Amino acid sequence: MDRLTQLLSFVAESPQDPFLKYALTMEYLKAENMKKAEEGFKDLVENFSDYVGTYYHYGKFLEKENNTEEALKIYQLGMQVARNMRNMHALGELQNAYNLASGFEDDDD
C-alpha cells in the first residue's frame, strides 16, 4: 500500500484528526496535486484552525502559486493563532515568512 492510500485510509477512520489531514495534504503537495493540496489546506484552516503548522506551509504553497496577497493573509492569520496558542516558535517562523513575502529582509541572516 502506498503512502497516499494509507493516509486516505487513516483519514477515513479518523476524519477529525488534524494531523492526519495535514499529512494527507502534504502528501498531495509532494505528489504535485495542487488542487487536492489546496483543498486540504482550506479544510485545515476552516475546520482545524488551531493546527498551527498549516499556516506556514499553506502560505508557501500560495506564494508558489503566485498568490502572494493571499499568502500574506494566511501568514497573518497563522501569527494570530500562534499568539493565541502561545507558540512562539511558530510565531517567529510565520513572521519571518511574512516579512520575506512582503519584501522585508531579515537582518539576522
User: Considering the entire predicted model, what is its pTM?
Assistant: 0.90
Question: d(Cα 70, Cα 76) in Å, to the nearest integer?
Answer: 10
Q: Are residues 64 and 101 in the same domain?
A: yes
Q: Are residues 99 and 58 in the same domain?
A: yes
Compute CA 36 distance to the chain's CA centroid, rounded to the nearest angstrom: 13
CATH code at position 95:
1.25.40.10
Q: Are residues 23 and 62 in the same domain?
A: no
State pLDDT tens for residues 31-55: 999 999 999 999 999 999 999 999 9
Q: Are residues 15 and 41 in the same domain?
A: yes
Instruction: Using the structure block, give the residue that is written with the C-alpha cell 487513516.
Output: 10
Question: d(Cα 59, Cα 41) in Å, to the nearest integer?
Answer: 10
Q: What percent of the chain has pLDDT over 90?
A: 93
The residue range of the domain holding 69 is 49-109
Q: Are residues 30 and 66 in the same domain?
A: no
Q: What percent of the chain has pLDDT over 70?
A: 94
Count of domains in the chain? 2
